[in-house]
Structure 1
Amino acid sequence: MPFRSVIKYRVIFRVLSFLLIFESLFLSTGIFVAWYFDEAMMPFIYSVAVTLGLGIISWYIFGRTTKKGIGKREGYLIVGLSWILMSLFGALPYLFSGAIPSFTDAFFETISGFTTTGASILSDIEILPKSILYWRAMTHWIGGMGIIVLTVAILPFLGIGGMQLLVAEMPGITPDRLHPRITATAKRLWGIYVIFTIAEVLLLWAGEMNLFDSICHAFATMATGGFSTKNDSIAGFSAYSQYIIIIFMLLAGINFTLHYLALHRRFTKIWANEEFKAYISVIVVISLIITIGLIFFMNEGIEKAFRDALFTVVSIITTTGFVSTDYIIWPGYLWMLIFALMFLGGSAGSTGGGIKIVRHLLLIKNSWLELKRALHPNAIIPVKFNGKAISQNIIFNVLAFFIIYVLIFAMGTIALSVMGYDFETSIGATIASLGNIGPGIGGVGPVENYGFFAAGAKWLLSFLMLLGRLELFTILIILSPAFWKQ
C-alpha cells in the first residue's frame, strides 16, 4: 500500500500549524514584557512574525482534514514532532536577541525548557534581558503539563478527537480519571495548574521577591523545571521563599488527579493512594537522614540543615532541579542518596519527570510476588495496586520500561565518555537529562552548567531530554521500522 495511505499527513500538519499559531500567542507576551522593562522588542516581534506567519500559511494549506481524525500513528507523530517544532521556534528569541547566538545552544536551552529539564548552557543568567528570562521561564510553564495536554482542551475546535494524543503524551500508568471526556479532563488539570501558579506568585511576592522573579520562579516550580532568574538559583533567597517553593514543588510532584480529589474533599481516597504514601515517605525518610548528617558532619544549625535537606530532596525527587546548596560538597553517602533519588522521579500524572514512583512500586511488588510464586508454583497471586489487580500486560510494560531506561542510560553514559568527558560527568549529565532533572553530578553538578559540552554532546543530551519527557516509548515507537508499515 502506498506510504501516504498509512499516515494522514493533512491531519498532522494541521495540528502542527495550529501549535505554531498557539506558540506565537505565548511569544507575543514577551513583546509586552520587553516594552515594560524598556528592552528591545524586535527579537520577539520577529519571532512572532516568523512563527505566526508559518503557522497561518500551513493552516491555510492543510486546513482541510478528514473526518476520521487521529489514529495511533498520527497521534504519536504529532506528539513527538510537537516538542521538536515548539523547541525550534521557541529558540528564535534567543537567536534574534543575540542572547544565545549559537543555534545548537539556543535549541538546547529551549528544549530543556519545554521538557522541563532545566539544564542550561548559560554561565551568567543575570546579564540577560528580563524579557528573555521571562520567555525562558515560560517554556517551562508551557511544557509543564505537556504541550499536547494543553492542546487537547482546544482540539474540538480543530474538529478532531484528542484521546490518542493524551495516551501518547502520558503512556504511564494513570488508573484514575477525572472525567470521561478528555477535553474536560484537560481543562480541569489546567485549572488546577493555573490556580497553583497564581497562588505561588502571590506568596513569593509577599516575601522579598519582586513580581517578575515571583512569576518566573512560579512558572518553573509548577512545571518542575528549575530555570531561575539568578545565578545562585534559589540559594540567594530567604528561608521564607525557599519554604514556599518547597511546598509547591511537593504539590507539582503529586498526581494531579489527587489535587482534583482534594478539591472535592475526598481525602480518604488520597491517603489510600499507594504512590502518594510512598512519595511522602521517601521524602520524609531521606530528608531526616540528610538533616542528621548535615548537623553532625557539616556543623549546620538544625533549621538550616533541615531546610537544605528538604529542599534538595524535594527538588531532585520531583525533578525540578532548583538549587539551594551545593550538595556535591556534602559527605559522600549524603550526596549519593541525592544521586539515587535521580532514578526515582515524581508521581505519575504529575509534572515531574523520571521513572516515576508507581513503576518502582510495581517492580518491587512483582519481584516480591515472584519469590512467593517460587515457593508456591501453583498459586495465582496477582500484583495489586491501590487495591486493584494489575494486568500482566502492565507489569510487562513496566519491566520493559526499566530495561530500556537502564540501556539508554548506559548508552548515553558510554557515548559521552567516548567523546572525552570524565565518567562522573557522563553519568551525571545522562541521568539529569534523561530524568529531566537538570543538575547532576561531576561537571554538571548543582553549581555548574552544560555550556562546556561540544555540539555533538548537546544534541545527544537534547535527544535524551525528549526521550525522558515522552516516557521513552513515544519516540522509540516512531523510530521503529514497524511503525512505518501498514
Structure 2
Amino acid sequence: MNSSIIRKILGYVLVLEGLLLLLPCMVGLIYSENEYKVYLIWSVITLLIGAVMVARKNTNNVFYLKEGCIATALSWIFLSVFGAVPFYLTGEIPRFTDALFETVSGFTTTGASILNDVEALSHASLFWRSFTHWIGGMGVLVFILTVVKISGGSNVNLLKAESPGPSVGKLVPKMRYTARMLYLLYFGLTVLEILFLVAGKMPIFDAVTAALGTAGTGGFGIKGDSMASYSTYIQWVITVFMVLFGVNFNFYYFVLFKHFGKAVKMEEVRVYLLVIVSAITVISLNTYHMYNSVSDTLTHSAFQVASIITTTGYTTVDFDLWPSLSKTILVLLMFIGACAGSTGGGIKVSRIVLLLKTIKKEVQSYIHPKTVKKVRLDGKPVEHEVIRSTNVFFMTFSLIFITSLLIISAENYDLATNFSAVAATMNNIGPGLSLVGPSRNFSHFSDLSKYVFIFDMLAGRLEIFPILLLFSPNLWIDVMKKKSHKKILKG
C-alpha cells in the first residue's frame, strides 16, 4: 500500500479544512462574537499540521482503488475530528463525543443532532455547523481534485470511493475537469437558492445556512422548529431545491450542454420523480383531516417527502404524529434515498431499480430457463459486475443495520426509536420516529450508541466499503510488512 500518497492527501484535506475554518471566524467577527478567536487559532493549527504532511516528500505517486478507499475513509475521519474541536473548545458542546457526533452528522449530511437548544449557539458555530453540510455534500476530495493536481495514478479512484452511487463515470475526458464541473453546478444551484430565499424576505444569514443545508441535503436548521416558522413561499423554495439536489448531477450536465436525449433516457431520475409524486399524493390524502386545508396539507406533505427521500432532514411539522400509513411511507423513503451522483443519501434509486429488475429477470428465468436476458438501465445493458456489487451492497448494508440495531437495543428504548435511529443515521437522514422524532434528538443515547451511530453515518455516506476496509486485518498486515521491509533496506 502506498502510504506516502495517502499521507499527502490527508495533508491536503487538513490544509483545506484549515482555510475553510476561516469562514466561521469571519462570521464571528461580523457578529462581534468572541468565538471567532477559537476558530482562528484552530484554523492556524490545522493549516500547519496539514502543511507539514503535504511538505514531506513522496516515495511513490501511484495510487489505485485500495489507496483511494483508504484515503477517503481516513480523510473523512480526520475532517470530522479536526472539525469537532472548535465546538468543544468554545464550550458550546462541552463533551467531545457529542461534538464529534454533531460534526460527523454535519459532514456526512445526516443532520442528526444532540443539541437541545440549537439557538443558543453563536453565529460562528451555527455557520460552521451548516457549512459542514455543504462541504460534505459534494465531497471534500472532489473539491481537492478541482484545485490540486495529483499525478501518478487514476484520480477516478478517489471519486469512486467518495461519490454516492453504484458507479461513477467521467462527464468530460479529464477527471479533474469532471470534478470542477460538478462543483460549478453545485455552487451555482446553491447561489440560486440563496437568491430565491432572500427574495422571499428570509434574513441573509438564515438564507445562507438554509441553502448550505439544502445543497448538501443535510438538514441542520438554526431554529428549534427547523423550517416551521418560515413562510409558505420559503418552505416551497426549499422543497423544490431539496428535490433538485437529489437528482443525479449528470442530468444537469446533459441539460446544460443540450444532450437532451441522454437526459430523457435517465431512468433513475424518472423513477425518483414518480416516487416523490406518488408519496406526496398518498400522504396528502392520508393527512388531510389533520389540516383541513388543501394548501397546508400539500405544503407539509411535499416538504416532508422531499426532505426524507433526499435525506435532507428539515421539518415543518412533527410527522411522528401522522397516521401509520404516512409514517410507513416516510420510513420506506428513508431507505430508497435520492439518485446516485447526487448529494443525497440512502440506498439510492438506481440500486432499487436494479434490484427490482434483477428479481424480474430471475422470475422470468424460472418460466423460460433457456432464455438469456440482460438487465438494462437507461436502455443499456448493465454489466454483471455492477449487479454483483449492488447485491453485495444490499447484503452488507443489511448486516451492518442489524448489528447496529442489536447493539443500541441494549439501552432498552422502544423498537420504533431504535429502528428509525439506525435508519436515520445509516441513510444520512437525521430525524426518525418516537424518541428521535422531529421534536426530539439523539442526546439521550449512551456514548457507545453514539459511536455506533457515528460509524453508521460514515458508512452510509461513504457507501460502506471504504470505511469497512479500515477494519480489514489483511490491510494492516500488509502495512506492517512494508514498514518492516523498508527498515531492512535502510539497515
Which range, TM-score by smaller chain? over 0.9
Q: 173-182 vs 83-92, which deviates more?
A: 173-182
Provide the C-alpha distance between the structure 2 equivalents of 1:412 and 1:108, rounded to a whole number of angstroms.
16
Q: What's the counterpart of residue 277 of structure 1?
A: 270
Relative to structure 1, the CA distance from residue 373 to residue 161 in structure 2 (aligned partners, 3 Å threshold; closer, same or farther) is closer
Q: Look up the match of 2:435.
A: 443
Mapped partners of 1:369, 1:157: distance in 2: 42
Give the C-alpha shift of residue 49 in structure 1.
Answer: 2.2
- 1:143-158 pair list within 5 angstroms: 143-156=136-149
2:333 pairs, out of 341, 344, 353, with 341
Cα-to-partner distance string for 1:119-144 (whole Å, 9 max, x where unaligned): 11111111111111000011111001
Query: 1:383 & 1:159 partners in 2: Cα distance?
Result: 36
Distance 1:485 1:57 in 2: 27
Quote the residue 1:433 is aligned against.
425
2:31 maps to amino acid = F
1:345 partner amino acid: G
Aligned with residue 448 of structure 2, among 456, 462, 465: 456
Tell me, what secondary structure is at the counterpart of 2:381?
strand
* Counterparts of 1:311 and 1:275, CA distance in 2: 21
The answer as to 2:316 corresponding to 1:324 is: yes
**Per-residue deviation, 1:157:** 6.0
Deviation at 1:363, TM superposition (A): 0.5
1:28-427 → structure 2 map (5 Å cutoff): 28-40=22-34, 41-60=36-55, 62=56, 64-156=57-149, 161-170=154-163, 172-174=165-167, 177-295=170-288, 297-427=289-419
| Residue aligning to 1:3 | none
On the 8 A contact 2:61/2:152 being kept in 1, the answer is: no
SS at match of 2:19: helix
* Equivalent position amino acid for 1:179 in 2: V
Alpha-carbon offset, residue 305 of structure 1:
0.3
User: How far has the Cα of 1:484 moved from its partner?
Assistant: 4.4
Per-residue Cα deviation, 1:36-86 (whole angstroms, up to 9, x for no partner): 0010121111211221121122233x2x11454223332111100000000
Instruction: Please give the alpha-carbon distance, in whole angstroms, between the structure 2 residues aligned to 1:458 and 1:155.
Output: 35
8 Å CA contact 1:19, 1:82 repeated in 2: yes
Range with greater deviation from structure 2 (170-179 or 276-285): 170-179
Distance 1:38 1:51 in 2: 23
Instruction: Give the number of equivalent residue pairs.
Output: 477
Amino acid at match of 1:51: T
* Cα deviation 1:382-410 (Å, max 9, x = unaligned): 11111111122211111111111112111
The code of the aligned residue for 1:430 comes to V
Name structure 1 gaps, 5 residues minimum: 1-6
Asked if the contact 2:165–2:339 (Cα under 8 Å) also holds between the matched residues in 1, the reply is no
Provide the C-alpha distance between the structure 2 equivalents of 1:181 and 1:386, rounded to a whole number of angstroms.
Answer: 24
* Amino acid paired to 1:49: V
After superposition, the Cα gap between the structure-2 partners of 1:171 and 1:443, relative to the gap in structure 1 and judged at 3 Å, is closer
What's the offset of the Cα at 1:299?
4.1
Residues 385-442 of structure 1 deviation map (CA, whole Å, 9 limit, x = unaligned): 1111112221111111111111211111111101332221110110000000001112
Amino acid at match of 1:387: G
What SS does the aligned partner of 2:70 have?
A: helix
Report SS of the residue matched to 1:100: coil
Q: Kindly provide the CA deviation profile for residues 197-221 of structure 1, in whole angstroms up to 9, marking residues without a partner as x.
A: 1111111111131110100010000
Partner of 1:21: 15
2:471 pairs, out of 458, 468, 479, with 479
List gaps (5 residues or longer) in structure 2: 479-491
Give 3-state SS (helix, strand or coil) of 2:329's partner: helix
Taking a change above 3 Å as real, the CA distance of residues 299 and 106 of structure 1, as seen in their structure-2 partners, is: closer
CA distance in 1, matches of 2:178, 2:476: 31
1:333-392 Cα offsets, whole Å, 9 max, x none, are: 111111111110100000001100000001000101111100111111111111111122
Asked whether the 8 Å contact 2:4–2:58 carries over to 1, the reply is yes
Fraction of identical pairs, as percent: 39
CA distance in 2, matches of 1:171, 1:90: 22
The answer to whether the 8 A contact 1:46-1:96 is kept is no
Q: Is the 8 A contact 1:75 1:164 kept in 2?
A: yes
Structure 1 residue 176: Cα displacement: 5.3
Q: What displacement does 1:87 show? A: 0.5
Deviates more, 1:415-424 or 1:25-34: 415-424
Structure 1 contact 208–238 (Cα < 8 Å) conserved: no
**Matching residue of 1:8:** 2
Q: Residue 67 of structure 1 contacts residue 160 of structure 1 at CA under 8 Å; is this kept in 2?
A: no
Q: Which amino acid letter does the alignment assign opposite residue 358 of structure 2? A: N
Q: Which runs of 4+ in 1 moved over 4 A?
A: 157-161
Offset at residue 171 of structure 1 (A): 6.6
- Quick check: 1:254–1:347 contact (8 Å CA) kept in 2? yes
Whether the 8 Å CA contact 1:21–1:56 is kept in 2: the answer is yes
Aligned-residue CA RMSD (Å): 1.5
* 1:18/1:59 contact within 8 Å kept: yes
Deviation at 1:154, TM superposition (A): 2.5
User: What amino acid is aligned across from residue 438 of structure 2 in structure 1?
Assistant: P
